[in-house]
Amino acid sequence: MAAATRRSSGALMIAGILLVAANLRPVLTSVGPLLDQIGAETGLGAPALGLLAAVPLLAFALVSPLAQSLSERFGVERTVFAALLVLICGTLLRPLPGSVAYLWVGTFIIGASIAVCNVLLPALLKRDFPEKVAKLTGAYSAVIGGVASLGAGLSVPLSMIRLPDGSQAGWRLALGAYVLLAIPAVLLWLPQLRRKSPDSDVARQLAAVPAPARGAVWKSAVAWQVTIYMGLQSLTFFSLVTWLPTLERSYGRSDVASGWDLMLFQLIGVVASLLTPLMLRGEEQRIGAAFPPALLVVAVLGVMFFPPLMLLWVLLSGLSSGSSLVVALALFGLRTGNHRQAGALSGMAQSIGYLLAAAGPPLFGALFAVAGGWPLPLAFLALAASAQIAVGSLVGRNRNAFAR
């Protein structure tokens, strides 16, 4: 009976984690295809729109270090639940008509709530499923990528829905619609607030796990490698998610078609998410960490020199981004010995990493505005991906971030 209860509890936890994961990207990836509409209505130019896309990443950087402390005080399950409620508030605030401040503040609130879940969900996987970190991280990342693709592909069609008065719904309804995805996650997470481990020995073992020494993670070379890898992966991903539709439109793709292409970019990443754990088996993960950004270098060079094959380069960059995300998230567990260490490493990597990533979308937009074309911003992406290859060859070595 106890074993059956544990299996049921574990299955419910996995389902809850995956449904929460489904809410971590569509509210962000839905913005890129709508940038033209947002800019036309609000008067924001390319640099400002790039900065808007970077606001969630800045929120990630600021809030991520607080997530572990909040979970220690209130419990992981309660902290994730509160983050989901905050996400709903931000999603409803962002598209409100009136002051443009709603757009900026709502976007920051969304980023802050996602930051908490970004840090704590990998730690939950390490705590409750330590032997399945790579496999479950692949499933977790696949859900993130799959639902993110819907956010990218459905945004423009949602904005074109005809209202009863004959007008189009516009970007505000398209962005606000994603609140409907958060409600089921809140309902499924409710049982976790009453969750108690049926195995008292396991509960005592988890409680007895010591927290890492204060500041130890910031002194670890391995932790910094994980952090830089995370930052470069996120920089290239969010730059592409933000600007890929605009880039494609300059090559003649329609608004709807470029949105669907961004959806394909995300969907092919789901395939990569499911296959990448196979590359992370064994003691060393150097090839698994270095191979995904190498694909992105090829894709970016393809866009620069062979743009007629745009769809091929979109798919290749999607494979790279999906695979890189799995590697980055899996490293939180692979380079630590317990869930407390994983939480500390996750908090550091997502704080500094997303601070680095926040420079991506506005810098990409600024380079385009200065150069008047795409070669310079694309060269910037290729350089970032090349740096990720170098870091991946280091972070792929089998070492513990907290080893003395």
pLDDT score recorded for residue 8: 60
Establish if 379 belongs to a structural domain.
Answer: yes
pLDDT score recorded for residue 69: 83
Establish if 1 belongs to a structural domain.
Answer: no
Establish if 275 belongs to a structural domain.
Answer: yes
Establish if 403 belongs to a structural domain.
Answer: no
pLDDT score recorded for residue 379: 95
Q: Could you read off the pLDDT tens digit of each residue along the chain, which spans 404 residues? A: 445 555 566 788 888 889 999 999 888 888 878 888 898 888 888 778 878 888 988 898 888 888 878 888 888 899 999 999 999 999 999 999 988 999 999 999 999 999 999 888 877 887 878 777 777 877 887 888 788 777 777 888 888 888 888 778 888 999 999 999 999 999 989 888 876 544 444 444 445 556 666 667 888 888 899 999 999 999 998 899 888 888 888 887 777 777 778 778 878 888 887 788 777 776 678 888 899 999 999 999 999 999 888 889 999 999 999 899 889 988 887 888 777 787 788 888 878 888 888 888 888 988 988 888 889 999 999 999 999 999 999 988 888 777 76
Query: Rounded CA gap, 379 and 368, in Å?
Result: 11
Instruction: Provide the angle, in degrees to the nearest 10, between the axes of the packed helices 221-250 and 360-371.
Output: 40
DSSP three-state, residue 168: strand
Establish if 400 belongs to a structural domain.
Answer: no
Q: What is the pLDDT of residues 310-344, one digit of tens each?
A: 889 999 999 999 899 889 988 887 888 777 787 78
Positive/negative CA dihedral, 60, 65, 71, 73: negative
pLDDT score recorded for residue 9: 66
Q: Are 47 and 88 in contact (CB under 8 A)?
A: no
Residues spanned by the domain of 42 = 9-193+203-395
Establish if 188 belongs to a structural domain.
Answer: yes
Q: Are 382 and 367 in contact (CB under 8 A)?
A: no
Q: What is the pLDDT of residues 112-138, one digit of tens each?
A: 999 999 888 877 887 878 777 777 877
Count of domains in the chain?
1
Q: What is the DSSP string of 22-81?
A: TTSSHHHHTTGGGHHHHHHHH---HHHHHHHHHHHHHHHHHHHHHHHHHHHHH-HHHHHH
Query: Rounded CA gap, 393 and 41, in Å?
Result: 45
Query: Rounded CA gap, 234 and 229, in Å?
Result: 9
Establish if 64 belongs to a structural domain.
Answer: yes
Q: Residues 6 or more apart from 291 whose CB is under 8 A from it? A: 279, 323, 392
Residue with tokens 């389902």: 15
Establish if 198 belongs to a structural domain.
Answer: no
Query: Which tokens belong to 131?
Result: 């032997």
Strand partners, 162: 168
Task: Tell me how crowded residue 15 is: count the other CB atoms within 10 A of its CB.
Answer: 12
DSSP three-state, residue 162: strand
Q: What is the CA radius of gyration of the chain?
A: 20
CATH number at residue 138: 1.20.1250.20
Task: Tell me how crowded residue 277 is: count the other CB atoms within 10 A of its CB.
Answer: 21
pLDDT score recorded for residue 198: 41
Angle at 381 between CA 31 and CA 353, to 5 degrees: 70
Query: Rounded CA gap, 374 and 377, in Å?
Result: 6
Q: Are 385 and 291 in contact (CB under 8 A)?
A: no
